[in-house]
Amino acid sequence: MSISLRPSRRDTACAAMMAGTFLLTASVLATTYAADRLVKIPLTIQADTVHTGTAELLDVAALAEGTLFVDPAVPITVNQRVTAQEPSDADVVTLQSALQMTRDDRTGTAAIVNASVDRVTVDRRTGFAVEEPIGAIQGNPDDPADPVAHDGAQFKFPFDTQKQSYPYFDTTLRESHDVDFVGVDQLEGLPVYRFQQEIAPTQISGAVTLPASSMGREGAEQVTMNRFYGITREFWVEPVSGAIVNVAQHYQQYLGTDVDDPESVTIIDVAPRLDAQSQSEQIAFATKYKNLIQWGTMYGPMIGAGAGFVLLIGGVYLGVTSGRRGMSVNRSEMHKEPELVSAD
């Protein structure tokens, strides 16, 4: 008598149902697990970007010597490095931005137009600044950083970015202003949301008092010129990851007796753009992170759940049909006619 090693239909049905149940459960748990790991700002970050453009720029050194000169076409480069710092943990990460704008027609310290270091601790899920620890901004390398409370977004938008307005922090005014959703676009084939922020010229610190003649005005009396700042920003955001893949800004500062002074003196007026390499790197990062999030939280679990459902249904079907087959065999045995045995 031979022994069959083939599994019975009932055994196969049980195995299929167990595997299906396992895949369905694992798919649900995987979504939560992946979201906890992927839908967070990483704890290890070093992002470098370069913006270039042409600026209308006040020659501060010449003004100090009594000569007013605004150069209408200064080539500039803006370098920014964002890194993760301590304190950082499972819920928050501290981000530090070191930014420097230089004029390309000069070298050494004479080339530096401005430089700053901004430090803020943000929620790893929303990307918004948290209240504690308080952030800091250093505008002069020779001076200590000022403690500055941050709020809103700054280096990225929230995961699963929506078509709505968000508070976006401005380091010059040291407060947030709304950035508004304005449309859908594509960059190198990547679907993105476009946002805009416009801050009208606002008086900031830095007033100067000089002879009217040195400011291009008539008369010899002293005149106090207040400093004004305004900016327009445009962001292209990959919505799944909230990553900013491109930025365009029009930044201006000027001196005037009031905000609408017709004889105002430009300090800086520039609209730098992200260079091609930086944009490609930002798009590549956003695409990679978007795919990781979608596969970890949506596509992977959906495939697993689909396979689990098929196995579960298949197992039930095999179980039901194997039972019917057994009943059919038993009935056929019962209806067999008895064999006649002849006596010798």
Backbone region of residue 98 per phi and psi (left: phi > 0; alpha: psi in -120 to 50; beta: other values): beta
Q: So what's the pLDDT on residue 141?
A: 82
Burial class for 187, CB neighbours closer than 10 Å (0-12, 13-18, 19+): middle
Q: So what's the pLDDT on residue 325?
A: 52
What is the DSSP code (8-state) at residue 220?
S
Q: So what's the pLDDT on residue 32?
A: 52
| pLDDT over 70, % of the chain | 74
Confidence label for 320 from pLDDT (cuts 50, 70 and 90): low
3-state secondary structure of 178: strand
Q: So what's the pLDDT on residue 33?
A: 47
Residue 113 · residue 103 · CB < 8 Å: yes
Q: So what's the pLDDT on residue 268?
A: 97
pTM summary value: 0.78
Look up residue 55 and give its amino acid: A
- Average pLDDT of span 51-74: 91
| pLDDT over 90, % of the chain | 63
Q: In the predicted model, is pLDDT for residue 93 greater than 60?
A: yes
Q: So what's the pLDDT on residue 269?
A: 98
> 119: closest CA among 109, 101, 131, 134?
134
Least confident of 1-10, 63-72, 248-257: 1-10
> 164: closest CA among 242, 91, 231?
242
Q: So what's the pLDDT on residue 343?
A: 46
Residue 244 · residue 282 · CB < 8 Å: yes
- Average pLDDT of span 73-89: 96
Q: So what's the pLDDT on residue 304?
A: 46
Q: So what's the pLDDT on residue 61?
A: 82
> 245: closest CA among 203, 202, 276?
276
Containing 73, the helix (H) or strand (E) segment is: strand 70-85
> 295: closest CA among 304, 283, 282, 285?
304
Rg of the chain on CA atoms, in Å = 34
Confidence label for 192 from pLDDT (cuts 50, 70 and 90): very high
* Interval 263-309: pLDDT, tens: 999 999 999 999 999 999 999 999 998 888 866 565 444 554 455 44
Q: CA 123, 128, 133, 137 torsion: positive or negative?
A: positive
Residue 69 · residue 63 · CB < 8 Å: yes
Q: So what's the pLDDT on residue 15?
A: 58
Residue 259 · residue 203 · CB < 8 Å: yes
Q: So what's the pLDDT on residue 4?
A: 47
* Interval 107-163: pLDDT, tens: 999 999 999 999 999 999 999 999 999 999 998 888 899 999 999 999 999 999 999
Confidence label for 336 from pLDDT (cuts 50, 70 and 90): low
3-state secondary structure of 195: strand
Mean pLDDT of the chain: 83
